[in-house]
Structure 1
């Protein structure tokens, strides 16, 4: 035995750890470069026995750790893994928790997935593409194309068609190698690349296109049968016209249906037989053209054999009238283009392929190259051997051409006995049989669709080839259509198509979809006109191809890291060229049909978008949305702020959004989906990691359910003040950051710990220090309903046949909106009951109390007060001090919402100078007019400095009583109200008491009150006294917003 073999075996042998040799003469672990080069290959790394380990310890490593090892199964969609019962990659919270179970053994997901008959690139892609491209047009319309366009335009037309399909094939190859492709073909590629909306739009149309193509190929088969009956058997079925085509076509479609239902394995076998017939028919045409015509009948019909003069006569285009239609380059293009649409026959069977990423590019491009060569070759052969027009009259074949302006018929050449006169091809070309200006010609390239049958060395072989071509293409399209429909049905993009997503057998064959496709194909078969159906087919295929090319261009443009196709021979700009060519061809062929097609695409797009399917597929649209948003934020950061573009961008300190619905609803009224709204929450850092990780998801679900466009952000801090300060500093990006903080009024400030009151006021200070506006909202009954409210969080079910997996468990939970109980709720997630239908996101339900107890009407009304349309009334605006205009801007915004649309503005302001009441009123009215603020009334308060009533003073003393510093009180100086402070702020105290009296006088019955927020000066006023001012202004009042701008203008009267 070769000693080198023993050496190699020894190197990779697992040694026992008690091997005696392990302790003696241990060689170094690494060899030097010379030794490594000498060893070569894998053996260059020689691992000594001393460094080998007992394999039993290695085998159990995954049982000793909760970490996941790199495996393919970890990157599959979550549902496939869950269905297989395999252990998934743990989440970070699971890894970081101090205790937990060890991981289970890895399960091979591939071993548990259902395996059916899978095809390679030859049987699965190459052959279907060949048979679909070598369709009925090859034998029935290629010669007509060469007759209309001549060699120059005909070959150009073939090249243009194949250029479109070649570029599309490159795009298909790029998409198919960018990840695992499943069933659905073109639909799957477009939907996963451009999104569910585009996929749903084009998928439905592509299904119909395949059905139309199936009927087109069947009509071609019927025409061949009809011609064979007419010429060889001198008979017909009914009328030798459309009814014969319909009868034969339905029978042929039934046969195709049976073959397709039998299964893909039989389809592949039958296609091999059909391919042999097709190749034999093409060889027959080539040999027949080389041999030349057998008799004068063939010569009179235009078949003269190879000759340069024939080729030259057919070089220039000569577009003429056929079947009453004056043809042009693009009308011929429309008729012929279905001949090359078979490039997606393999892609449409992606679910039946062993390796779609390898098979689709190789098989498709090989099929395009082979079929393009054959089409060009047969086109050149026909143009070099058959005249463009011919009368078919043998007598005229030997009659010289009539001289111009002559009325005397030329004399035919005499026949000597039974011997036909021998004429050269140039002489025959000059005969009257090929001059059709004044006689009716029914033969030649232009008029005889059976020209290839005449050229063939054995005519019946062309019939066999035509039958094979048409039936093979019909079978291929009848296989493709139901699979696209099946993929759409499994994705549940359209209502009512769910039953067509069910597959049967080991190959998951879509039998129901096949029957439906058969019915649709029969419907289009009844048209019984090949050219008309061919034009319609071209239109739908071009629309699909334009979107396929756009997929690649858009994915390249989005620059998503997830876009990394294995196929590298493509460019974004080539795909864009393919898109433009497809769209241009559609409109040049028939602009009305093109408009209708794209109109239907837009209609289906909007329908799918309206249904909002659960389809998170990582499309390029999502990547572009990210890129666009990132670019917009960067651009926005470089734009200097301008008063005309000011928008209130609110940080709403709502806690968990569902805990304070009125506060979030009110903030949403101000932003109105057109400005930034962030719901801020300060959470305890000691709650479990799994619970904290669920906060954003649950908050987003609540916001989406209530149709509120807002972001959620939480900060972990045990102190409200510190958490708010951190959030004020961190939230936002560039200029897309909050410029206003909205707080709920702290109604329990008198009974709360002094530190909490100080922290609340310090948050107001912190916002002003960061040059932000501050708003404080108070409503009767308060804003926090977490103690009585339970909101149902309805998460959309993760469908078992969908590709939308975001790492979240499918949960339908009754979620306590009190954020302190979220960790408990996580432990109480109910399991989904059998046959229980999922609740859809966005369904509004009335809030229920604990145990689904219905809330009192008054409580429900209070919770939804800012969701309901308010009755006619007034929004009273107390613009006391010029804060930049925010106090007047926010009421203006509120008035334009549906909630307050019935309310009118009443403006209140104070008289700044005694004796100038009328002038002050005129100036304010003029200013509001310049600001284009409509108001119902304007009131200037002249006596705001007047002493308050005794009852108001008593109320004020009652409010501050619990906060007065007394002998036994100890603590911070700013935690209590001292007599010295009351004396210092004597005038301001009186002013706020007087404002309360005015509020009760004018605004007690108003719909809403907005007032300028008093400004607390740091280290001057204590927190309790400041809160006492707010209490005076807001107690027992309608919904009231105290707001203060940042002293920068938010209104302007300049254009």
Structure 2
């Protein structure tokens, strides 16, 4: 299948010059910085320092930023390794772990973003009413939301332009705060900072949990990846730059609050910045600008995540939500996001419900961060050559980001952390059943190959235990699709639930198309829970090709352990003997299947296992004389059919009847055969008892050294049932 590069590129086509692309500063740095420097910075930084003291506050800020900084580094690393399409985190996660993981993580993340708009608008309204208390709260609420939505709806370019005056307002508010500590604007002397606080409002980690959501805006710029000129270039620089600058601002601000007010004042007065700044109105303007900016960034970023998911059929109405204007604006996704925002506002007006679900929104942000760190950690651990980012980070970085994100989740709210995890796992299960098709490959196959290689090396370093680890793994040579149909039900019965099939379809030159139908059996067996693989091989003399296949398989880790051959009307005795001998040389068990055309597998209930007389030694040893594979196959059939096993042995001397019964009872006990197993002993000629034995749906007999097709057919006719003739490989045991 040819690689479709267009589908690997961002989903929005650059159709006209109107579809403007953004650079590092306006596309990533600015939205990320303004989201981090939000209302919490103005209203909670002083409270953190008042509780924890200067050193405690700086430590809390640093720990929170270590988590986001490591996450930012992880995002930067993976962004320089792939073509980041629209949707930011969705694109990154999906290209690494598959659409199922990308969708299950980012669908709640999208909803969290869409709902968080209402939180920012409520905060904006509170700030506005602190300045204009006579203005109706509901009117201010919907006016602010309408203005914010209108800007986002018109274009991402308009939103980008508005960020510049917002940046000026926020910058001036910070300048006003710092000037408030100078002697020109302050009459009383500065305070000596309290280095370690008394934590009156909670423990160190409880204060950390309150502060941490302030720094969870690192994806604000990443989510606009589809609007960037060079995502691979801009995402690392813009994201890391915004995290570093915001960290420095918080650190300086923490020091400022510790010297302009007492710890008691910092703890009890959330508006201390307004009171202590050179111009209090500038802080109020900063709060309004920060909350409006955060709402705007969410309204711009969330629809693009929704559109990217819709383009890959993650949700219903995919085609509708994936549409965009000629300028690349996801208008339909904007409408849905806007309706979610309005619904959340109405819900918030109805009571205090928003505060109850606020921690859940934070959980979805943190899970997204955890998965992004997991992507990098996994890619680094696998050591695949496809992971060669231009920006490399030590393995410790994503590990800290992952552990820190999970730690913060359960620290902030263990209950909501569990709920969020369950929601994402449920979504993953749902999307997995959808069997989504992605236009890119991901690392999941590489991950399982690496695990399998590690397991193989570990197994090979341990003492051999093939008999204990035995399960049916059949090599099935086929020269016509009809032959596989002939054996299908029996193969299904002896390999479920954990067996496997290695089917080799042999064809002569120019006849490949006639065998192509075999490939469909992979999916047919897979639906029944059976791992099956089909290989088509051109071969003039199929038995020699099969010999080569058996020899090569001996060096494979997941090698077949049993050769399965259906006996067909045109089977050649000499060729069968050759193949059976080669199977023995390569330590493969052998099953020759003779289907009774009149009864097939009958009622699929009764299995007769025929055992030759063991005279004079009727002792059950660790190795049974060509019985291990027969008993294991009988057990498989009885388990899948919920049937009954008859263990039958025929002796010539009646004096051996007691020994024979004791032998069969021992075999049943040591072999842990099902309770429905019956021992049957007769004293007569073997073939004379064939017609007297209980009627079975299938008979299992030992295979002689020489293949005798006439004997095989006679057994099938005399028992009036299908038969299998079995030879052990020496590597299976029914007694372990």
Q: Does 1:137 align with 2:29?
A: no
Whole-Å separation in 1 of the counterparts to 2:257 and 2:299: 31
Q: Does 1:544 align with 2:368?
A: yes
- Structure 1 residues 629 and 380 mapped into 2: Cα distance closer, same or farther (>3 Å)? same
Q: How far off its partner does 1:265 sit?
A: 1.1
* Residues 814-963 of structure 1 aligned to structure 2 (within 5 Å): 871=603, 873-880=605-612, 882-897=625-640, 900-901=641-642, 903-911=643-651, 913=653, 915-934=655-674, 935-944=676-685
Per the alignment, in what secondary structure is the counterpart of residue 547 of structure 1? helix
Q: Does 1:1038 align with 2:728?
A: no
- Structure 1 residues 512 and 319 mapped into 2: Cα distance closer, same or farther (>3 Å)? farther
Whole-Å separation in 1 of the counterparts to 2:364 and 2:13: 37
Deviation per CA, 1:240-293: give whole Å up to 9, x if none: xxxx3x553333222211111111111111112211222122222222332565
Whether contact under 8 Å (1:306, 1:384) holds in the other structure is no
- Structure 1 residues 181 and 656 mapped into 2: Cα distance closer, same or farther (>3 Å)? farther
Q: How far off its partner does 1:686 sit?
A: 4.2
Whether contact under 8 Å (2:28, 2:235) holds in the other structure is yes
- Structure 1 residues 577 and 305 mapped into 2: Cα distance closer, same or farther (>3 Å)? farther
Whole-Å separation in 2 of the counterparts to 1:126 and 1:249: 28
Q: How far off its partner does 1:485 sit?
A: 1.9
- Structure 1 residues 647 and 562 mapped into 2: Cα distance closer, same or farther (>3 Å)? same
Larger RCO of the pair (alpha carbons < 8 Å, separation 6+): 2
Whole-Å separation in 2 of the counterparts to 1:140 and 1:662: 76
Q: How far off its partner does 1:384 sit?
A: 1.0
- Structure 1 residues 457 and 735 mapped into 2: Cα distance closer, same or farther (>3 Å)? closer
* Residues 228-243 of structure 1 aligned to structure 2 (within 5 Å): 228-230=131-133, 235=134, 237=136
Which of 602-611 and 154-163 deviates more? 602-611
- Structure 1 residues 656 and 346 mapped into 2: Cα distance closer, same or farther (>3 Å)? farther
Per the alignment, in what secondary structure is the counterpart of residue 168 of structure 2? helix
Which of 283-292 and 373-382 deviates more? 283-292
Deviation per CA, 1:615-669: give whole Å up to 9, x if none: 4743333221010112223333344135333323211224466762352442233
Q: How far off its partner does 1:306 sit?
A: 5.5
Whole-Å separation in 2 of the counterparts to 1:508 and 1:661: 53
Whole-Å separation in 2 of the counterparts to 1:197 and 1:74: 23
- Structure 1 residues 702 and 904 mapped into 2: Cα distance closer, same or farther (>3 Å)? closer
Whole-Å separation in 2 of the counterparts to 1:75 and 1:172: 26
Partner of 1:273: 165
Whole-Å separation in 2 of the counterparts to 1:197 and 1:775: 41
Q: How far off its partner does 1:171 sit?
A: 0.3
Q: How far off its partner does 1:382 sit?
A: 2.1
Q: How far off its partner does 1:883 sit?
A: 0.3
* Residues 956-975 of structure 1 aligned to structure 2 (within 5 Å): none
Per the alignment, in what secondary structure is the counterpart of residue 644 of structure 1? coil
Whether contact under 8 Å (1:878, 1:1012) holds in the other structure is yes
Correspondence for 1:211 among 100, 103, 114: 114
* Residues 303-452 of structure 1 aligned to structure 2 (within 5 Å): 307=190, 310-312=191-193, 314-320=194-200, 326-389=201-264, 444-452=265-273
- Structure 1 residues 999 and 249 mapped into 2: Cα distance closer, same or farther (>3 Å)? farther
Whole-Å separation in 2 of the counterparts to 1:265 and 1:713: 55
Whole-Å separation in 2 of the counterparts to 1:74 and 1:500: 28
Q: How far off its partner does 1:112 sit?
A: 8.4
Whether contact under 8 Å (2:473, 2:500) holds in the other structure is yes
Partner of 2:696: 1006
Q: How far off its partner does 1:889 sit?
A: 1.7
Q: How far off its partner does 1:926 sit?
A: 2.3
Partner of 1:792: none
Per the alignment, in what secondary structure is the counterpart of residue 718 of structure 1? coil
Whole-Å separation in 2 of the counterparts to 1:503 and 1:551: 29
Q: Does 1:171 align with 2:171?
A: no
Q: Does 1:719 align with 2:541?
A: yes
* Residues 609-758 of structure 1 aligned to structure 2 (within 5 Å): 609-615=432-438, 617-639=440-462, 640-655=464-479, 660-687=484-511, 700-704=522-526, 707-731=529-553, 733-749=555-571, 756-758=572-574
Whole-Å separation in 2 of the counterparts to 1:115 and 1:723: 63
Whole-Å separation in 1 of the counterparts to 2:409 and 2:35: 21
Correspondence for 1:762 among 578, 586, 589: 578
Q: How far off its partner does 1:176 sit?
A: 0.7
Larger CA Rg, structure 1 vs 2: 1
Which of 1007-1016 and 1032-1041 deviates more? 1032-1041
- Structure 1 residues 1050 and 698 mapped into 2: Cα distance closer, same or farther (>3 Å)? same
* Residues 69-88 of structure 1 aligned to structure 2 (within 5 Å): 77=5
- Structure 1 residues 913 and 614 mapped into 2: Cα distance closer, same or farther (>3 Å)? farther
Whether contact under 8 Å (1:293, 1:455) holds in the other structure is no
Q: How far off its partner does 1:114 sit?
A: 11
Whole-Å separation in 2 of the counterparts to 1:78 and 1:519: 32
Which of 532-541 and 737-746 deviates more? 532-541
Whole-Å separation in 1 of the counterparts to 2:514 and 2:225: 42
TM-score, structure 2 normalization = 0.90
Q: How far off its partner does 1:138 sit?
A: 2.1
Whether contact under 8 Å (1:741, 1:772) holds in the other structure is yes
- Structure 1 residues 469 and 532 mapped into 2: Cα distance closer, same or farther (>3 Å)? farther
Whether contact under 8 Å (1:700, 1:711) holds in the other structure is yes
Q: How far off its partner does 1:708 sit?
A: 3.3
Partner of 1:832: none
Deviation per CA, 1:158-187: give whole Å up to 9, x if none: 111111110000000011111110011112
Whole-Å separation in 2 of the counterparts to 1:1048 and 1:469: 72
Partner of 1:411: none
Partner of 2:65: 162
Whole-Å separation in 2 of the counterparts to 1:263 and 1:207: 19
Deviation per CA, 1:845-901: give whole Å up to 9, x if none: xxxxxxxxxxxxxxxxx9xx77xxx7474212212373042112211111111xx11
Whether contact under 8 Å (2:466, 2:732) holds in the other structure is no
Q: How far off its partner does 1:79 sit?
A: 5.5
Whether contact under 8 Å (1:539, 1:586) holds in the other structure is yes
Whether contact under 8 Å (2:495, 2:530) holds in the other structure is no
- Structure 1 residues 654 and 872 mapped into 2: Cα distance closer, same or farther (>3 Å)? closer
- Structure 1 residues 695 and 292 mapped into 2: Cα distance closer, same or farther (>3 Å)? farther
Per the alignment, in what secondary structure is the counterpart of residue 710 of structure 1? strand
Q: How far off its partner does 1:352 sit?
A: 1.0
* Residues 1007-1026 of structure 1 aligned to structure 2 (within 5 Å): 1007-1016=697-706, 1026=708
Q: Does 1:192 align with 2:192?
A: no
Deviation per CA, 1:887-942: give whole Å up to 9, x if none: 12211111111xx11x2111211216553223322222222222121344322232
Whether contact under 8 Å (1:135, 1:217) holds in the other structure is no
TM-score, structure 1 normalization = 0.64
Partner of 1:290: 182
Whole-Å separation in 2 of the counterparts to 1:879 and 1:113: 82
- Structure 1 residues 613 and 937 mapped into 2: Cα distance closer, same or farther (>3 Å)? same
Whether contact under 8 Å (1:657, 1:699) holds in the other structure is no
- Structure 1 residues 249 and 606 mapped into 2: Cα distance closer, same or farther (>3 Å)? same
- Structure 1 residues 697 and 221 mapped into 2: Cα distance closer, same or farther (>3 Å)? farther
Whole-Å separation in 2 of the counterparts to 1:554 and 1:202: 17
* Residues 779-790 of structure 1 aligned to structure 2 (within 5 Å): 779-781=595-597
* Residues 441-480 of structure 1 aligned to structure 2 (within 5 Å): 444-480=265-301
- Structure 1 residues 76 and 925 mapped into 2: Cα distance closer, same or farther (>3 Å)? same
Correspondence for 1:608 among 431, 434, 438: 431
Whether contact under 8 Å (1:141, 1:336) holds in the other structure is yes
Whole-Å separation in 1 of the counterparts to 2:659 and 2:553: 45
Which 5+ residue runs of structure 2 have no aligned equivalent? 614-624
- Structure 1 residues 493 and 126 mapped into 2: Cα distance closer, same or farther (>3 Å)? same
